[in-house]
Structure 1
Amino acid sequence: MGNLKAPYVKQCYEGDPQVINCFISALHHLKPYLASGIKEIELPTVEPFLMDELSLSLTGGPNGYTISLKEMMIYGASNFSMSKLKLSENGKPFEAQINIPSLKINARYQSSGVLIILPASGNGTFLGQFDDLDCMLKGKVSINVKDGQRYLHVDALHVDLTVKKMRMMVKNIFKNNRILTEAINLFLRENGHEVFKVMLPQLRKKLAGLFMSISNKLLTHVPVDVFYVPLAKQTS
């Protein structure tokens, strides 16, 4: 692409006292492109993005109640807003805070074990909605030089999550077994925060992987000097 600016790139300038705000608005500028995907750099749409599987052990014991969520389609990730950005300095990690108003999860649901006193093995559909999600990102970046151009790369990323409100439910469980469906839904309603706590470590890891792969796909195609124009290349 050389130094030609792609439409999804909003440029920021070295020496600008408001450069952090510029970077934040450059990330917000990307949202519609993330939602629709960017063909020329083989970036698929993130609406929805697909996660492979989460396995959750919810109660202990030999007949412990275990859920696995497969083929998880997650909607709403492109509708983020960033409130804080701290760039990496002297080898310290960069930090960013983003909020996602609502994430919806649609997944294939399988369970085994005993729930309260019901044998709760079955499969069906899982629907989850997580509202007002705060993500704290911390990561390390490096610079690679290729064909005389400098490129940024995200080497490691850590994601922390908190969620204000959640709803989880299942349907079409085990050939529409109504009693089992209601028991599982009651359990999910009353133990939503516990279920989310069990989900969290895997969800954090999977989201970190997703954010990293999106960032690196973009950064591999856009040299640093194109999105952060150095003083030497600025024309007055």
Structure 2
Amino acid sequence: MFLKYFIVTVVTVSCVRSAEKPSKVIPPYVKQCIRNDPKLVDCIIQALNHIKPYLKQGIKEIELPPVEPFKLDSLSLALTGGTNGYKITLKDIDAYGASDFIIQKIIAHSNSPFEGKIKIPRMTLDAKYLSSGVLLVIPATGNGTFHADLDDIWVNIKGNISNYKKKSKEYYRLDNLDIELDIKKSHMKVSNINNNRIIGEATNLFLAENSQEVIQVMMPQLRPKLTDIIIRIINQLLSNVSTDVFYKN
């Protein structure tokens, strides 16, 4: 008799458990928050800090490539005017350090754009370098390699997030993003310019004395390129993680 009741009990419990809704699988790169937590913004900052090492290495399961290095195609810069003005083109740019961002502030309200302030302690850029024109009265046409150290970078961001349904689940999407960059310190140099020491020294002298001006010339091209890449990275993540996974309740 005992054996009979034991078997009935086991079967009943098994049936009840099989009928229960399966629990959510929380990816290791997601740190959950409580939806109505009065300190939700603080939790979001912690969640963003939590995901940094995963962004650095990439997340294969959602086909998110590593953000280190952060790749840009090219920048074309006219640094001096005139018919023979000095122009440089940077190609195949690899940027390192973007995933070391530090969230300083986030302001988020329902039905309005979010705002944030981010610090990146240091970024380095490595690229192929091509130049043309005259620099410091020296013909400076050549090619070589370019390196830059950018320190104490401040990024102001503003954007809008919406939600949509896919396969009966709700997802977030970053619709637009505006970024403003303030690079406090910079050091740039070129090397291997046609194996021509004079052109190399003249170029490095110019870059040493005018690095901030070069940064300002970069900005109109750099800002939209960075914005497009950031939107693509964020939406690759958001399109693979439904909104309910971000919250504990």
1:144 to 161, 164, 176: 164
Indicate the residue corresponding to 2:88 in structure 1: 67
Q: When the two structures are superposed, what TM-score results if normalisation uses the length of structure 1?
A: 0.93
- Measure the CA separation in 1 of the matches of 2:235 and 2:87: 35
Letter in 2 for 1:102: R
Q: How does 1:98-177 map to 2 (within 5 A)?
A: 98-174=118-194, 176-177=195-196
What CA deviation, in whole Å up to 9, does each residue of 1:127-165 have, x standing for no partner? Answer: 001001001111112111111211110111111000111
Letter in 2 for 1:58: L
Kindly indicate which of the two structures has a greater share of residues assigned to helix: 2
Indicate the residue corresponding to 1:210 in structure 2: 229
2:216 to 189, 197, 220: 197
Q: Equivalent pairs: percent with the same residue?
A: 52
Whether the 8 Å CA contact 1:132–1:165 is kept in 2: the answer is yes
Deviation at 1:191, TM superposition (A): 0.5
What CA deviation, in whole Å up to 9, does each residue of 1:31-75 have, x standing for no partner? Answer: 110111100011111111211000101011111111100000110
In structure 1, the residue corresponding to 2:65 is in which secondary structure?
coil
- Measure the CA separation in 2 of the matches of 1:81 and 1:8: 17
Letter in 1 for 2:144: G
Matched, 1:220 2:230: no
Indicate the residue corresponding to 1:22 in structure 2: 43
Matched, 1:7 2:28: yes
Letter in 1 for 2:70: F
Q: How does 1:67-106 map to 2 (within 5 A)?
A: 67-90=88-111, 92-106=112-126
Whether the 8 Å CA contact 1:88–1:140 is kept in 2: the answer is no
Deviation at 1:228, TM superposition (A): 2.9
Letter in 1 for 2:101: F
RCO higher in structure (CA 8 A, sep ≥6): 1
> Which structure's CA Rg is the greater one?
2
Q: When the two structures are superposed, what TM-score results if normalisation uses the length of structure 2?
A: 0.89
In structure 1, the residue corresponding to 2:223 is in which secondary structure?
helix
Q: Which runs of 4+ in 1 moved over 4 A?
A: none
Matched, 1:35 2:56: yes
Whether the 8 Å CA contact 1:137–1:158 is kept in 2: the answer is yes
Deviation at 1:97, TM superposition (A): 1.0
- Measure the CA separation in 1 of the matches of 2:125 and 2:64: 21
Query: RMSD over aligned Cα, in angstroms?
Result: 1.1
Aligned length: 227
In structure 1, the residue corresponding to 2:151 is in which secondary structure?
strand
- Measure the CA separation in 2 of the matches of 1:179 and 1:155: 49
Deviation at 1:24, TM superposition (A): 0.4
Structure 2 unpaired stretches of 5+: 1-22
Deviation at 1:88, TM superposition (A): 4.6
Deviation at 1:3, TM superposition (A): 3.4
Structure 1 unpaired stretches of 5+: none
Deviation at 1:223, TM superposition (A): 0.9
Whether the 8 Å CA contact 1:8–1:30 is kept in 2: the answer is yes
